[in-house]
Amino acid sequence: MKYTTLPNTDVKVSKICLGTMTWGNQNTEADGHEQMDYALDQGVNFFDTAELYAVPASKETYGKTEEIIGSWFKKTGNRDRVILASKIAGAGPYTAHIRSDGFAKEAIISAVEGSLKRLQTDYIDLYQLHWPERGVNCFGVRDYPYATSREEAENHYEILETLTGLVKQGKIRYVGLSNETPWGTMKYLQTAKKYNFSRMITIQNSYSLIHRGYEYGMSEVSMRENIGLLAYSPLAQGVLSGKYLDGNQPEGARGTLFPRFIARYRGDGSTAAVREYLKIADNHGISLSELSLAFVNQLPFVTSNIIGATRMEQLKENIGSIHVELSGEILQKIEAVHAAIPNPAP
């Protein structure tokens, strides 16, 4: 395994992060335990979860993933070997079954307490805001929703004040963002500096060969402000494994069970790009998944690459991508495809 550190800390984390969002729906508790056993044995010490998991979010599966991680901690005693990240759910109809007061002070405190109980731990290493309360262009929305921008609230001060209090109590160690924009990220950084609050150290946004929008502004923020990207959906929900090409619908696959998860990645442009990337992988004797993950692994603004799998063979290949080195020739070919078909997935 390769390691880096969480920005502005001395906390060592694996370059591959274990994503967990299928545990409690597509995967059983036993599956989750097996994945954590294997990942830790391979040197993966960084696990990411969220209170709303398992997905798709529902009242019935709310908190199930954290419970599975908690039961593994209790069974194995491995809490001190893992850097654990979780998230508070953002506001909106998708999470109405969780709460209705978004990132209000009491909501954040309640969310942290709930996660700690389910995770059977006294602290969370990295606590993240799952998505902004204001409308932004994420989750398949390509353009900024300016029509509603004047209705958006700014509550950076209250959020950071509350999170800082939880850091001082030892319930969380560090704080981060997710699905944020350059403006939102800089507002949090500026507010933290002005009022001596805990500083956001990471941002968990989507990034893949067919969705490189992070490079439009956010990558510069990452590198100049030292706020590291935790890249999620590096395989574009499995589309960049090639398994959905030619209309294939593999049995039990996420895109087969929950088609809306991959809809944003299955347009004509995305399919054309995936075919080109598959040619590059085939010509160089690696799988498309390995090519896709290795590309993200080597980016200078990426702190860790969040992989997720429903089957052990997928998990083994994904973690093994850390040992795949892409040559200059391969990188040039990737950039040529990107220039011809830039960011086909929103």
The greatest distance separating any two alpha carbons of the chain, rounded to the nearest whole angstrom, comes to 55
Give the angle 35-205-199 at the CA atoms, nearest 5°.
Answer: 100
Active-site position among 3, 53, 146, 207: 53
What are the C-alpha distances in Å from 319 to residues 125, 184, 202, 324, 345? Answer: 22, 32, 21, 10, 24
The answer to whether 343 and 213 have CB atoms below 8 angstroms apart is yes
CB-count exposure of residue 293 (10 Å: 0-12, 13-18, 19+): buried
* Distance between CA atoms of residues 38 and 320, nearest Å: 12
Closest residue by Cα to residue 47 from 82, 23, 12: 82
Q: Three-state SS for 303?
A: strand
Does residue 53 carry a catalytic annotation?
A: yes
Tokens of 143: 């353009």
Give the angle 213-260-60 at the CA atoms, nearest 5°.
Answer: 115
Q: How far apart are the first and last CA of the chain?
A: 31
* Distance between CA atoms of residues 82 and 254, nearest Å: 27
* Distance between CA atoms of residues 316 and 42, nearest Å: 9
Which helix (H) or strand (E) segment is 200 a member of?
A: strand 200-204
Beta-carbon-side half-sphere exposure of residue 252 (alpha carbons within 13 Å): 7
The answer to whether 281 and 324 have CB atoms below 8 angstroms apart is no
* Distance between CA atoms of residues 14 and 303, nearest Å: 9
Give helix then strand counts, H and E, for the chain.
11, 10
Could you give the residue numbers annotated as active site? 53
